[in-house]
Amino acid sequence: MRSFLNPLLVIAAMALGTTLGSALPALAKVELKVTQGNVEPLPIAIPDFQGGLGPQISEIVTADLKRSGLFAPIDKAAFVEKITNPDAQPRFDDWKVINAQALVTGSVSKEADGRIRAQYRLWDIFGNQQMAGE
């Protein structure tokens, strides 16, 4: 048993030495500066936008925000308030209940020349105020 184990240890040591030896020339001084901790995605509610293309545009916005990794879109089935006027101030308490920290409302319309016009408002749910949009 001992004679079988010794050659195996020698081979393992040689393989390890070869691996470490070939990695040594590539070693360099690496400095990491950590300035922020783990960022949790922001829970955001994105109801269907008003207008004919509204639902499709809101789905695109939802998918893009989710893919960014910075936002966690909330399932529409959880929404308490149904947005009928994207320009009106939302009932903030209805959005707090589902833990939304932000809300995006909007409308989409087609212009006479064929262009699509989209308007949005970004609401800070816990700040009870509009953050962006027109």
Q: For the segment 85-110, what is each residue's pLDDT rounded down to a tens digit?
A: 999 999 999 999 999 999 999 999 99
DSSP symbols for 32-53: ----S-PPPPEEEE-PPPBSTT
Residue 37 has a pLDDT of 65
Domains of the chain: 42-133 (3.40.50.10070)
What is the sign of the dihedral through the CA atoms of 113, 104, 132 and 38? negative
Model-level pTM? 0.69
| Residue 63: closest CA among 46, 80, 39, 78 | 46
